[in-house]
Structure 1
Amino acid sequence: MNKISGLVITFNESRNIVDCIRSLKRVCDDVVVVDSLSADDTVALAEAEGATVIRQPFLGDGPQRTAGLPYCRHDWVLNLDADERLEDDLADWLARTDLDALPADAVESRRRNFVGDRTTRHAGQYPDYVLRIFNRQRADFKPVVAHSRIQAGRVIRNEGHITHYSYRDYADIFNRACLYANWMAKDLAASSKPVHGWHPMLHGTSAFLKHYVIKTGFLAGLDGLTLSLGKALASYLKYARALEIRRAIR
């Protein structure tokens, strides 16, 4: 059987961390949790489940995940967010597949995203391929503050699934849009990319049309409309906030 380490980053994830770790332990004999100084009992719950917990002030999404890699005992790593779970098909594939024999440094799988107890194929919610399985000797996380991706050379695609409890409700969609937009704005403001006054509206409108029209969010009723508006808000605020940051340091 493969030797796989599980990796999770957390901040106040007491409602999710136990189920996440138990999901990882279906295929991992080693689980590392990098906690951003949670104020709840995330750490105690993780340690009770047998995870190795590293306490680390938040460095940004990518660097925070990278900080956990030296504590992983195995080269192959399965990285989940605390609100994600393995589904049976992906767990079964991992259990029977020799990862070292694959012509790949990383593996993509499909993800089902939920709003509350509902999921949809529209508005970019499915199949939403994500890269969660990788060899840490040959791949690493992009060093950005928000929505880091694994950087790998050879990537193959698997049709197994991850469940993602993305949003608790509609309010959570907009709360997260504001939070992530602020993080992404910091990366954008620090980069050399040009940002102009018309960019917030352009990118916000483009994000809405992409998710509501091109990715057929209109077929998902109010869920599809709300998700598309959330994506539009996040994109608009990313560019607006980046402009604000740059103006403040001039």
Structure 2
Amino acid sequence: MTKISGLVITYNEAQHIRACLESLLQVCDEVIVVDSLSTDDTVAIATALGAKVYSQAFLGYGLQKNHGLAFCQHVWVLSLDADERLDADAIADIQRLDLVNSQYDTYEFRRKNLFHGKWIRCTTWYPDYVRRLFHREKVRFSEAQCHEKVESTAHTQLDSHIIHYSFTDYHDMLHKLNKYSTQYAADNSGTKKRVSVWSPALHGLFAFLKNYVIRGGILCGFDGFNISLLNALGSYFKYAKLLEKQRYSGAKP
């Protein structure tokens, strides 16, 4: 089996980091943790499990992960978020892969997003493909502050799963919605991407219909409706905040 480096970026992830690293250690020959100056037991737990821990003030999600690639010894890298872990079928798939002769530079996994103790199988939360295993000499992460991804043109999808403990409750979802929409506006404010006054409402409406009707949120009860609504609000505020930056960033108080 080809040797693989595991990569995780962390900040105060003591609740999740043990399960994340233990799953990586089943398929990785080393695990690299880039920690953003945690104040809890994240570093102690990671070190005790044998991970190589490097401290780095947070640079943004994409830049932070690219920074971590420099510490990886092997060309194939398996990157997880701290609140993710490999499911048994993903471990088995990775162990079977012939990475030496692979025609791909990136592999995508299905992600099981868990919320309120259950697997949400509706809305855009499933199958929610994410790129996690890649050849670091051929591809890198985008430099986005949030929702970074491996930039690849030669990727393939696996049917196996990554388990994701995404949000603890609706308060947590709203907090992250606000954070991610702000980061999206910052990532795109310097580009030529222009939005109109209709963009936030249209994107928000489409996101709700896609999640609740097309992707089956209507079948998932109370959580299905709320996830659809919050996804719509996230889309609305991404474009509302970008429009705000484009119109008023130079305005004087």
Q: Aligned partner of 1:162: which letter?
A: I
Q: Is the counterpart of residue 69 in structure 1 residue 69 in structure 2?
A: yes
Does the aligned pair in 2 maintain the 1:115–1:170 contact within 8 Å? no
Report the CA distance between 1:148 and its aligned residue: 0.5
Q: Is the counterpart of residue 207 in structure 1 residue 207 in structure 2?
A: yes
Q: Secondary structure at the match of 2:241?
A: helix
Q: Which whole-Å CA distance do the structure 2 matches of 1:196 and 1:40 have between them?
A: 43
Q: Secondary structure at the match of 2:179?
A: helix
User: 1:206-245 alignment to 2 at 5 Å?
Assistant: 206-245=206-245
TM-score by length of 1: 0.96
Q: Which whole-Å CA distance do the structure 1 matches of 2:16 and 2:203 have between them?
A: 33
Report the CA distance between 1:214 and its aligned residue: 1.2
Report the CA distance between 1:171 and its aligned residue: 2.0
Q: Aligned partner of 1:248: which letter?
A: S
Q: Is the counterpart of residue 248 in structure 1 residue 249 in structure 2?
A: yes
Q: Secondary structure at the match of 2:186?
A: helix
Q: Secondary structure at the match of 1:101?
A: coil
Report the CA distance between 1:167 and its aligned residue: 1.3
Deviation digits for residues 171-200 of structure 1, max 9, x if unmatched?
A: 222221111111111112122111222222
Q: Is the counterpart of residue 43 in structure 1 residue 43 in structure 2?
A: yes
TM-score by length of 2: 0.95
Q: Aligned partner of 1:117: which letter?
A: G
Q: Secondary structure at the match of 2:201?
A: helix
Gaps of 5+ in 2: none
Query: Between Structure 1 and Structure 2, how many residues are aligned?
Result: 250
Deviation digits for residues 116-160 of structure 1, max 9, x if unmatched?
A: 311122112222111110000111101111100101121122111
Q: Which whole-Å CA distance do the structure 2 matches of 1:77 and 1:249 have between them?
A: 42
Report the CA distance between 1:77 and its aligned residue: 0.5
Does the aligned pair in 2 maintain the 1:62–1:143 contact within 8 Å? yes
Gaps of 5+ in 1: none
Structure 1 runs (4+) greater than 6 angstroms displaced: none
Report the CA distance between 1:39 and its aligned residue: 2.2
Partner of 1:17: 17
Report the CA distance between 1:83 and its aligned residue: 0.7
Partner of 1:185: 185
Q: Secondary structure at the match of 1:81?
A: coil
Partner of 2:101: 101
Q: Aligned partner of 2:197: which letter?
A: G
Partner of 1:148: 148
Q: Which whole-Å CA distance do the structure 2 matches of 1:188 and 1:199 have between them?
A: 14
Q: Give the root-mean-square deviation of aligned CA atoms.
A: 1.3
Moved more, 162-171 or 77-86: 162-171
